[in-house]
Amino acid sequence: MSTNTLLRRNLSLALPPTSPLPPPPPPPPRAPLLSSYDVFLSFRGEDVRGKFVDHLYARLQGLKVNAFMDEKKLARGEVIEKSILTAIERSRFSVVVFSLRYADSEWCLDELVKIVRCAQNKGHVAMPVFFHVSPDDVYEEAFVNHEKGGFKKKRVENWRKALIAVAGISGWCFGENE
């Protein structure tokens, strides 16, 4: 007896003759995000380290939120860029702390491009914080300087698009005395 015949016979025994065939199974869910961290913190260190971001990190830790902050989580000897980009991929959320000189940093902008790509492809959520800057602030001068500094126009344009995308998300604003 063939395998097809056995399958048909077993199926006919399992279902009454008048019942319709069961509906097809639903499509598989989107691949789950394999997260190592709840939150990735993206910031320009010289603007906010030792100030806002250290307080934010401590508060997240106190709430048992597993946050990635470079100086706290990078092991000595790790390749920094690869480790940071992997941490973004393995985080469910990113808190992007925009500060006065955030866009001056190619590291920050590369992180931002990765965050936007993960948001588009993996369900990652970006949450902006505007620290002593407004969401309306434009970092155009920084991008002009990057182009003059020899960075390829395509790379600078990707940075610009990523910054505009994340700065356009409703976030939190903190002024001088907050």
DSSP string for 21-40 = PPPPPPPPPPPPP--SEEEE
Q: How far apart are CA 171 and CA 122, in angstroms?
A: 21
In the set 106, 111, 140, 141, the catalytic residue is: 111
Q: What values do phi and psi take at 76, rounded to 5?
A: -60, 135
Query: Hunting for tokens 């902008």 — which residue is that?
Result: 109
111 a catalytic residue: yes
As beta bridge partners, residue 174 has: 131
Q: Whole-angstrom Cα distance, residue 160 to residue 44? A: 16
Distance separating alpha carbons of residues 144 and 142, to the nearest angstrom: 5
At a CB cut-off of 8 Å and minimum separation 6, what does 162 contact?
A: 109, 112, 113, 115, 116
Residues in the chain: 178
Give the catalytic positions in this structure: 111
